[in-house]
Every structure is written in structure tokens, then in C-alpha cells.
Amino acid sequence: MKSKKLFFISIFFVVFNLSAQNNSNQLLMRAIIYQGDTLPYMALDTIKYYYYEFKGSNKEYIAYTKLVRDVKKAYPYAKLISNKVNEINAYLNTITNSKILEKEKDRLEKELRSQYEKDIRNLTRSQGKILIKLIHRETQKTSYNLIKDYRGGFLTSVYQGIAKVFGLDLKDSYDPNGKDRNIEIIVTLIENGQL
């Protein structure tokens, strides 16, 4: 009889240990009770839905497709410039000697020109305008101020004069809720992988 009791007690402990919950691989999450049932609750990101209705002739549609093309061409350069500005600032902040700092600025400018000048020169005028706006969006500084930070006021004025000859303005700022709303929508769609 004692052996039967020991057998059942040992089985009880084995079963109890097997049925115990292992908390190491469980996920804690919020829950709500809806009509007596407990349901998991998870906040989701807001989804924006954009719908364009082109009224009238095809001019609006053609203008929109050109804008999409131009933003898709200019946006990667704006992201690249933003990343390069962050890298260069981090590097230049480590230099304390002003002569070495100026030499490094010159070296970095030559290096960047050799890598990207040909590609950026191949942009159309409208793509250039969009790039100037997107640089302001990505860096929170206008192109004019970025050049002024690195090259000084005189050279910045020269670049601004050259830009004006081609119908561009390095002081253009980005207004995502106003005149640049369509560009912001297209950039959002690109970032979400929808374009």
C-alpha cells in the first residue's frame, strides 16, 4: 500500500511539474475585456491614405507623374547628403587646429565633388529645385546655410549667384503642409515602400 501511495505521489509531482507554466518564453501584453471575453490589445501605427482625383484634362496627371519621377530621383541624394553632413560634422568636431580644419574641409570637398558632382549635374532643373527643398527637409538647414557653414559667406554668395542664373534658390525652404505638400506625400509613400 505504501508503494502505491509513493507511486501516485511521485506521478503527481511529475504531472504537476510538466503542467507548470514556463514564464521565460511568454509575452506580456495589454488586454481588454469585451463582452466577457479577454482580448489582446495592441496599438497600431496610424495609416494615411492618399487619394488623388485628377479633374479635367490629363495635364494634372502628367504634372503629378513628373513630380513623382523628380522626387524619386532627388530624394536618395537628399538622404545621402543628410548622412554625409552628419558624418562630416562628427569628424570635423574632433579637429581642434584651425589650419588642419581648413585643409580637411578642402580635402572633403574635393572628395565629395569627385564622387557625386557628375550625378548631381545630371539632374534636371526641376529635380534640382526639389533636391534643395529635400535637403532642408532632411538636415533642417537650407542649402545656403550648409554651404555657409563649411565654405564661408563669400563662396556661398558666389554659389547662390550661380544658382540664380539657373533659376534656383539655395535659400529655398521646405513647407510640408503648404506649397510642398505633394512632395511630402510622395516622400512618405517612398519611405513606406508604396512608390
Based on its alpha-carbon atoms, the radius of gyration of the chain, rounded to whole angstroms, reads 30
User: Is residue 30, in this structure, part of any structural domain at all?
Assistant: no
pLDDT of residue 77: 92
pLDDT of residue 8: 58
User: Is residue 119, in this structure, part of any structural domain at all?
Assistant: yes
pLDDT of residue 10: 61
User: Is residue 117, in this structure, part of any structural domain at all?
Assistant: yes
111 by Cβ neighbours in 10 Å (0-12 / 13-18 / 19+) ranks as exposed
User: pTM, whole model, 2 decimals?
Assistant: 0.70
User: Is residue 47, in this structure, part of any structural domain at all?
Assistant: no
Q: What is the maximum span of the chain, computed from C-alpha positions, in angstroms? A: 106
User: Is residue 85, in this structure, part of any structural domain at all?
Assistant: yes
pLDDT of residue 160: 86
> Which domain covers residue 123, as residue numbers?
59-191
Q: Give the span between the Cα atoms of 162 and 144, in whole angstroms.
A: 12
User: Is residue 28, in this structure, part of any structural domain at all?
Assistant: no
User: Is residue 7, in this structure, part of any structural domain at all?
Assistant: no
Q: Which residue spans within 56-189 are E strands per DSSP?
A: none
Q: What is the pLDDT along the chain (195 residues), one digit of tens a residue?
A: 556 665 556 665 555 555 555 566 777 778 888 888 888 888 887 777 777 777 777 888 888 899 999 999 999 999 998 998 888 888 888 888 888 888 888 888 888 888 888 888 888 899 989 999 999 998 888 888 888 888 888 888 888 888 888 888 888 888 888 888 889 989 988 888 887
Number of domains, the chain: 1
User: Is residue 42, in this structure, part of any structural domain at all?
Assistant: no
